[in-house]
Structure 1
Amino acid sequence: MNDLTLDRPSRRKRQRSRAELQNVTSITQKAVTALVLLASFGLVFAGLRMAGAGFASYQAEAFLQDWAGKGAEPSAEAWQVAQGAAQRAVSLYPVANGEYFDRLGRVYSWQQFKLPYGSPDALSSRLAALDAYRASLEARPVWPNTWARLANTKLHLALFDDEFKQALERASALGPSRIEVQREVTMIVFAAWAQLSKQERASFLESARRSVTYGQREAQQIQLLAAQHGLTGVLCNSLDDETKSIRKLCQ
């Protein structure tokens, strides 16, 4: 028996090992390719969902801008279309999107916004708005506009609880330079004046002072707002003489 005969089993083993290695490599490559394809499909699918969500959100925002310009409650048909678009934006986006939830809340807030505070006829839409704003703040907790809208919704529900007061505080503190936020906080505070403690009134009046110092036109609007709630004296007493002189208030 020569050496070639003795080496034949070893060669067969090496050949089997190479074949097995090639087979494993081929399987690994196929698995990696499959994973890459799956990931690519997932990214494409997520991208399509995000694009759809963006389009639906844009559609809802167009309705909101139209209603704001008219200052009137939307028709039932227009509201249904806007609500459907805002809900699709929320549902299609892969993760919780604070902006989209805020927009959904605004759509609900507009549905019956002219009905009186605490109206049972507006309870459903206002509670839906409240839930949407809460979801928005879970995703985006430092956005002052949403805090102000949550407080405004609680006002319309006539719910003057700790959540209401926290929302006012957060809106005022997080948006000191956002005049639209300070104006809304001032409006809410004046409307809910009887429900606030002396300390809370003094604290929240800071938003009124910020609004007054912003500019002459804003100052006049705040004075008019105070007068509507019988709080002109309160506003004037909270302002220093220099500010009243510059803004020509309380004269």
Structure 2
Amino acid sequence: MTTHQSLDRPTRRKRQRAHADTENATAITQKLPMLLMLLLALALLIAGGRMSVAGIASYQAEAFIGTWEQAGSEPSARAWQVAHGAAQRANSLYPVANGEYLDRLGRVYSWQQFRQPYAAPAAQESRRAARDAYRAAVAARPTWPYTWERLAHSKLYLQEFDDPFDHAMAQAFQRGPWRIGVNRELAEIGFSAWPQLNPEQRQATLESARRSVVNGHTQAQRMLKIAEDTGRLNELCNTLGAELITTRKLAACT
């Protein structure tokens, strides 16, 4: 009996270890979904925190841009650095390419030396950076006409009249047919680049200008000034018609 019992002990121990291993495996299997959920929740918490900080940084950059737009002047070096840092931070923290944030980064670059003349060597670096940011923005958000218009404007400042310039102009025109800002900017770009445009682009420019004038007296006066500043007053007046000129009281066209 003793011998038989001693022979059974290894077997019983193996069975006990196997049973314990089974219980441990079952416990781990039961806890695995909870562990995965905890890891997922942690990842979402981190991503959410990064997105929140990115949003705050982007808002800060937008506040600077709004101030520059009201002043109508190039920002100080210090203000630009702060805005640029905020715009960069917003894009680096956001988990994927964000068209809005990239567009805002492009606008920061565009404002850095916007008073410099076209093709000014001193402004090439900032304008190329703006162009590249807008390119990334339209890749992330291809339906937004304002970014297409800004991309075209950045290429005007660089005097890059190429296929990407033509494409940006066409996309902005098609995607923002009745957006006030898009039409005004497209008209300004077109009038400024008039000698470089083909007949179709000139017609689209005149249509954008007409839409701006149709929008109201304030926009009509702004468009009149753009036409005068770019030397395209005759082209503008000839496309409006007598009735619209009278309605908007455009004395310069009479």
In the TM superposition, residue 248 of structure 1 has moved relative to its aligned partner by 2.5
In the TM superposition, residue 169 of structure 1 has moved relative to its aligned partner by 1.3
- The residue identity in structure 1 corresponding to 2:57 is A
Partner of 1:3: none
Partner of 1:40: 41
**Distance in structure 2 (CA, Å) of the matches to 1:189 and 1:162:** 15
Superposed, which structure 2 residues align to 1:25-36 within 5 Å? Answer: 25-36=26-37
**Distance in structure 2 (CA, Å) of the matches to 1:27 and 1:135:** 46
1:22 maps to 2:28: no
Which deviations, in whole Å up to 9, do the C-alpha atoms of 1:26-81 show, x marking residues without a partner?
A: 11123222211211110110011001101111111111111111111111111111
Does the 8 Å contact 1:169/1:204 carry over to 2?
no
Name the SS of the counterpart of 1:221 in structure 2: helix
**Distance in structure 2 (CA, Å) of the matches to 1:77 and 1:224:** 32
Structure 1: state its 5+ residue gaps.
Answer: 1-7
Partner of 1:210: 211
**Distance in structure 2 (CA, Å) of the matches to 1:220 and 1:67:** 22
**Distance in structure 2 (CA, Å) of the matches to 1:97 and 1:183:** 26
Partner of 1:4: none
**Distance in structure 1 (CA, Å) of the matches to 2:184 and 2:34:** 57
- The residue identity in structure 1 corresponding to 2:177 is P
Partner of 2:82: 81
**Distance in structure 2 (CA, Å) of the matches to 1:79 and 1:248:** 40
**Distance in structure 1 (CA, Å) of the matches to 2:131 and 2:32:** 47
- The residue identity in structure 2 corresponding to 1:40 is A
Structure 2: state its 5+ residue gaps.
Answer: 1-7
Q: Structure 1 length as normaliser, TM-score?
A: 0.90
1:62 maps to 2:63: yes
Which one is further off, 150-159 or 241-250? 241-250
Q: CA RMSD in A?
A: 2.1
**Distance in structure 1 (CA, Å) of the matches to 2:102 and 2:154:** 14
Does the 8 Å contact 2:190/2:201 carry over to 1?
no
Identical columns (%):
57
Partner of 1:160: 161
Name the SS of the counterpart of 2:143 in structure 1: coil
In the TM superposition, residue 24 of structure 1 has moved relative to its aligned partner by 2.5
Partner of 2:145: 144
1:52 maps to 2:57: no
**Distance in structure 2 (CA, Å) of the matches to 1:230 and 1:71:** 22
